[in-house]
């Protein structure tokens, strides 16, 4: 398993989803440096210096939901790229996540290839898609 040097955080209250995505993206070469069960758990871990390049966050979680998590990341760690990841696949939820500051939205109902494509696209330097 080769590392591409990209550090990822996973935030999801479902241990099955969290562990599965961690296994899959690790096989793709990403370094999952932290996992969290909700936004507050993520922020606690970030505050001790574990800073990822990309954060994949569920939207519907207890304690601190994904929208609040995205807003906090944008304010405190603006360089972290954020993927909103949700079981629901509504246009309004996607818009709301993007308005909160997410860089991309991936439905958990879509093909895993969609997540792989979004992760790959986030490695491109800013402005390269102009």
Q: What is the pLDDT of residues 58-99, one digit of tens each?
A: 999 999 999 999 999 999 999 999 999 988 777 888 898 999
Q: How far apart are CA 14 and CA 4, in angstroms?
A: 26
Confidence class of residue 5 from pLDDT cuts 50, 70 and 90? confident
Q: What is the pTM of this model?
A: 0.89
pLDDT the model gives residue 129: 40
**What b/e readout covers 61-96, taking b as 16+ CB neighbours within 10 angstroms?**
beebbbbbbbebbeeeeeebbbbbbbeeeeeebbeb
- In this prediction, residues 18-28 reach a mean pLDDT of 94
Mark out the alpha helices in the chain (DSSP H runs): 15-27, 39-46, 66-76, 91-100, 112-122
Tell me the domains of the chain and their CATH numbers: 7-122 (3.40.50.2300)
**What is the full DSSP assignment across 67-90?**
HHHHHHHHHH-TTSEEEEEES---
Q: Is the pLDDT confidence value at 1 over 60?
A: no
Q: Give the Cβ contact number of residue 60 at 10 Å.
A: 14
Q: Find where tokens 């040097």 sit.
A: 5
* Average pLDDT across the chain, whole number: 88
């Amino acid at each position: 398993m080769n590392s591409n040097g990209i550090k990822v955080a996973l935030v999801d209250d479902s241990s099955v989803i969290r562990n599965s995505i961690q296994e899959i993206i690790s096989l793709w070469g990403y370094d999952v440096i932290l996992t969290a069960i909700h936004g507050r758990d993520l922020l606690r871990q970030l505050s001790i210096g574990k800073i990822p390049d990309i954060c994949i966050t569920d939207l519907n979680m207890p304690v601190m939901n994904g929208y609040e998590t995205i807003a906090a990341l944008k304010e405190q760690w603006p360089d972290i790229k954020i993927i909103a990841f949700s079981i629901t696949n509504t246009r309004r939820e996607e818009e709301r996540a993007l308005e909160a500051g997410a860089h991309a939205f991936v439905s958990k109902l879509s093909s895993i290839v969609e997540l792989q494509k979004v992760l790959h696209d986030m490695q491109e330097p800013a402005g390269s898609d102009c």
